[in-house]
A and B are shown apart, each in its own frame.
Chain A
Amino acid sequence: MFDKTQLEEIEKLKHSYEKALEKSLPKGPERKSEFKTVSGIPVKRIYTPEDLTDMDYCHEIGFPGEYPYTRGVQPTMYRGRLWTMRMYAGFSTAEESNKRYRYLLSQGGSGLSVAFDLPTQIGYDSDHPMAQGECGKVGVAIDSLADMEILFDQIPLDKVSTSMTINAPASVLLAMYICVGEKQGVSSDKLAGTIQNDILKEYIARGTYIFPPKPSMRLITDIFEFCSKNVPKWNTISISGYHIREAGSTAAQEIAFTLADAIAYVEAAIKAGLDPDVFGKRLSFFFNAHNSFLEEVAKFRAARRMWAIIMKNRFGVSDPKALTLRFHTQTAGCTLTAQQPENNIIRVALQALSSVLGGTQSLHTNSMDEALALPTEKSVGIALKTQQIIGYESGVTDTVDPLAGSYAIESLTNEIQMKAEEYISKIDEMGGMLTAIEKGYVQKQIQDAAYEYQKAVESSEITVVGVNKFQMKEEERDFQLLRVDEKVGHNQIEKLKKLRSGRDNLAVREALEDIRQASRDTSVNMMPHIINAVRCYATEGEICGVLREEFGEYTENIVL
């Protein structure tokens, strides 16, 4: 990026700068002998144009809205419209969650993000023995369309976009959403939102899988195909690095494994006869915003550039919309501390800022009390305001990709890309992500990183304010924690009883049998059959139960 004479002069100056340091350092040494990001990437004392001598601005950085999209996916970014402030919420019953959603929308939240409880995420009805003690705990309990109707009561589905964190049974919940739309008179082509639908990271990091990889991949590609024809504004998958990072990976691993998952989905969809220029437009991503501020900004930029290159070179995609990596961000839950929880507000603010400077399309900010329990309305409010302050007060949104051209940021962007590419080639060599997961390679890499991190915290190599430094002796907490009523499970079971006695059970049986038949023929798209069953109030557990019988269940692969 610089001409030769300039570089020579820079080198000369740097030399004399270092010479001078040699003298002064013994008197005033640096705080540490080595500086590293939280992921262990060494950070230099100073970055200069010398670090970017091979950089080609036009082809590697370029302009926003243009290949390779390093600077952002839209030409004007936040000058046009701010990111979607999307707060992940949901707990207890559909009624309770509906109240929280309407509160968030009234406070200026611009999209919904539904958290489901664990039985819902794993395809069990609330009255299943495995659901005991879990109903409504980490999200809302949804058993059938009846619950979904309550969840979105008085929320116009043609006006809001809804993100649903649902994976193994994603098709069932999407079917329910489509049916609620029908009831509201909103046709499926007007529905906007996202389902997470990313099963591979469930095997790797999050654990809410049901079926083995093969039928799971089929369910996913069925959704791709169905939505491209019927729900064109829907993001059919949110390929997630968030949970990979939460499980302990480094920044480079986070984007490497996420993009490797993405490659596996694209390959599966192409194999199923779909066109990457079409379904590619509806792929979305989900990343984590962790502590090392500069590293995080660089990570987002690197991921965007890498994906454009992958889609273009590997899959021959040409539609710009299918080349862009659009992503949601959540601040890192694993960095929240139970000690001095108010400090979490500041952590979250910095992490959120890194994602904005990294060009995120939507953002969830964690609440300060989440290391202790589910967030209260008050703490969620503060978290949302944090985004608004960044968006409306800080001014960082007034120019596009303001950190571009920083020697440090561009160098880190290159370095993370390089590290991530190494992982991806390693996975390619193994024969792709499915094999790498089966061999436990990915899981092992993440667990090793998590263990290293833990040891670094315990040896105080990494500082956690309030935990291993600046602790307070006696802590007093002066805020309330949210508690989920233990009765939720009972109420759901009662509701189910009523539902099962009030619906047309013959129609349900037929619909379920129809799903069974469809599941046996891979040339059939499952979606219409699932929608049909949902519409006659077959429960989620009943539908997943049939699929469990047909597809079998996955058992994790432990490599410790």
Chain B
Amino acid sequence: MQELVRKALSGDTRSIARIITLVENESPYTEEIMKTLYPHSGKAHIVGITGSPGSGKSTLTDKLIHEFKEKGNKVGVIAIDPSSPFSGGAILADRIRMQKHAVDRNVYIRSMGSRGSLGGLSKSTYEAALILDACGKDIIFIETVGVGQSEVDIMKIADTVCLVLVPGMGDDIQIMKAGIMEIADIFIVNKADREGVERVVAEVKMALDLVQKRSWIPPVHSTIAEKGNGITELAASISNHHEFLSISTEGLEKRRNRLVTEVEEILQREIARFTEEKWNQKKTPELIDSLYSRNTDPYTVAGRILEEVLLEN
């Protein structure tokens, strides 16, 4: 295992790919891998790209890859597509629009199925980003599932969140209502050759005036990703935000908060593992029967399980 991790750290693509799989599959090696890699991480700029389906996230990502690669960066991409709730399988097709970078040694693209996770990411997205970070990528783009309204998880793991909107899709207002305005650091109005761009830009600016003032004022970019229009400016904003994070207190807060969240999430996951195990042992039809007949209640049952777990550990 150490050999695999060592090769990954030296930038070997196959090894990087393999350890992401191990972590994604929650293999017993996960902890060892993450512990070894952790000291090497913390250097990359993690950028989230979120927005509704059809807003052009993949095409934008494709152009951004190009832009950052040209500046000498090593680029990582994680693209998440939904897994089927029925079969657990998934069709991961985001990379179609990025395939011209497939053979580029300085670009690594990884597709992930959401595997039951809500919130626009998959359970292991953060770990995958950390792995890429530790293995030398300078900037990592995370393209979320893109279901629109519930995609707040990206805020927890990305340094910079870009929200993509499109004129005339009708969902923009929904997004603004849903509180996603607050999570975005950069707004992108893509497909700006369509009618109604000015309106969307004005609406976003207006809405931004209403939300709490921050020291970072999110810029609003118009782009036509398909033609590459507005991408250079967008890339500059992304770099500016990175710069801002590294010198401002807000940025420091953000990174420190993320560490707190990280520990909390590991704790939750570990505790969940124990309780789940115990619950699976106890989950007899008889117990459900007595719940059903109201001889006992879920609170008492849960309390008892928790007690046992605590006693055993």
Contacts and interface: CB of A to CB of B under 8 A. Distances in A.
14 contacts: A212-B226, A438-B54, A439-B54, A552-B226, A552-B227, A555-B59, A555-B96, A555-B97, A556-B96, A558-B91, A558-B93, A558-B96, A560-B91, A560-B93
A560 B96 CA distance: 13
A555 B93 CA distance: 12
The listed residue with most B CB atoms (<10 A of its CB), out of A438, A552, A555, A558, is A555
Interface in B222-269: 226-227
Given A552-B226, A558-B96, A560-B93, 11 more contacts: A212-B226, A438-B54, A439-B54, A552-B227, A555-B59, A555-B96, A555-B97, A556-B96, A558-B91, A558-B93, A560-B91
A555 B95 CA distance: 11
Interface string B87-114: 0000101001100000000000000000
Interface string A196-226: 0000000000000000100000000000000
A556 B59 CA distance: 11
Contacts of A556: 96
Contacts of B97: 555
Interface in A9-56: none
A558 B91 CA distance: 10
Contacts of B59: 555
A524 to B, nearest CB: 21
Interface string B57-96: 0010000000000000000000000000000000101001
Contacts of B93: 558, 560
A228 B97 CA distance: 38
Contacts of B91: 558, 560
Nearest to B193: A214
Nearest to B59: A555
A218 to B, nearest CB: 15
Contacts of A552: 226-227
Interface string B185-211: 000000000000000000000000000
B100 to A, nearest CB: 10
Contacts of B226: 212, 552
Contacts of A438: 54
A548 to B, nearest CB: 13
Interface of A: 212, 438-439, 552, 555-556, 558, 560
Contacts of A555: 59, 96-97
B81 to A, nearest CB: 10
A260 B91 CA distance: 29
Q: Which A-B residue pairs are the 3 nearest by beta carbons?
A: A558-B93, A560-B91, A555-B97
Nearest to A556: B96
A558 B96 CA distance: 8
B65 to A, nearest CB: 14
B6 to A, nearest CB: 36
Nearest to A431: B168
A439 B59 CA distance: 15
Nearest to B98: A555
A97 B99 CA distance: 35
A314 B226 CA distance: 33
Interface in B93-144: 93, 96-97
B113 to A, nearest CB: 13
Nearest to A552: B227
B193 to A, nearest CB: 9
Contacts of A558: 91, 93, 96
B95 to A, nearest CB: 10
A560 B91 CA distance: 7
A560 B93 CA distance: 9
Interface string B21-63: 0000000000000000000000000000000001000010000
Nearest to A560: B91
A547 to B, nearest CB: 15
A467 to B, nearest CB: 26
A555 B54 CA distance: 13
Contacts of A439: 54
A448 B226 CA distance: 28
B154 to A, nearest CB: 23
A134 to B, nearest CB: 18
A558 B53 CA distance: 12
B101 to A, nearest CB: 13
B82 to A, nearest CB: 11
B228 to A, nearest CB: 9
A129 to B, nearest CB: 12
Nearest to A551: B227
A263 to B, nearest CB: 21
A438 B55 CA distance: 11
Nearest to A438: B54
A558 B59 CA distance: 13
Nearest to B191: A438
A483 B236 CA distance: 55
B234 to A, nearest CB: 18
A271 to B, nearest CB: 16
Contacts of B96: 555-556, 558
Nearest to A439: B54
Nearest to A435: B168
A555 B59 CA distance: 9
Contacts of B227: 552
A555 B98 CA distance: 10
A515 to B, nearest CB: 20
B50 to A, nearest CB: 19
A434 B227 CA distance: 18
B94 to A, nearest CB: 9
A560 B90 CA distance: 10
A439 B226 CA distance: 15
A193 B261 CA distance: 69
A556 B97 CA distance: 8
A560 B92 CA distance: 10
A212 B59 CA distance: 14
A195 B96 CA distance: 30
A520 to B, nearest CB: 14
A552 B59 CA distance: 13
A552 B54 CA distance: 19
Nearest to B90: A560
Contacts of B54: 438-439
Nearest to B169: A439
A558 B79 CA distance: 15
A469 B97 CA distance: 42
B267 to A, nearest CB: 38
A3 to B, nearest CB: 53
Nearest to B228: A552
Nearest to A559: B93
A555 B227 CA distance: 12
A556 B96 CA distance: 8
Nearest to B99: A555
A438 B53 CA distance: 12
A556 B95 CA distance: 12
A212 B228 CA distance: 14
A552 B97 CA distance: 14
Nearest to A440: B54
A552 B224 CA distance: 13
B169 to A, nearest CB: 10
